[in-house]
Amino acid sequence: MGDTYTQLYIQLVFAVKGRNNFIRAKWEDELHKYITAVIQNDQHKLIAINGMPDHIHIFVGLNPVISISDLVKDIKRASNNWINA
């Protein structure tokens, strides 16, 4: 059998607890860059990332070797640690 080609795209939306406006404009770009690094370290391809003070939209080309739940867990854990630090 020949090579297999997979093309999976997903959109993730993360909302701040209580939909409070906790994402500050002064560090929003740095947060997006940090999340981008987490996604790329998991061997996924970031297509777009943007957000508002109470949520973030992420559009990802998914690597089928790693599950969506693992990706979401990694993003949430890493971004929470970054914000709290």
The number of residues making up the chain comes to 85
Structure confidence at residue 2 (pLDDT): 67
Report whether 55 contacts 18 (CB < 8 A): no
Predicted confidence (pLDDT) per residue in 32-75, tens digit: 999 999 999 989 999 999 988 888 999 999 998 889 999 999 99
Predicted confidence (pLDDT) per residue in 8-32, tens digit: 999 999 887 777 777 888 888 899 9
Q: Provide the whole-model pTM.
A: 0.83
Structure confidence at residue 28 (pLDDT): 87
Higher pLDDT: 5 or 50? It is 50
Give the contacts of 7 (CB within 8 A, at least 6 positions apart): 61
CATH superfamily of 8-84: Transposase IS200-like (3.30.70.1290)
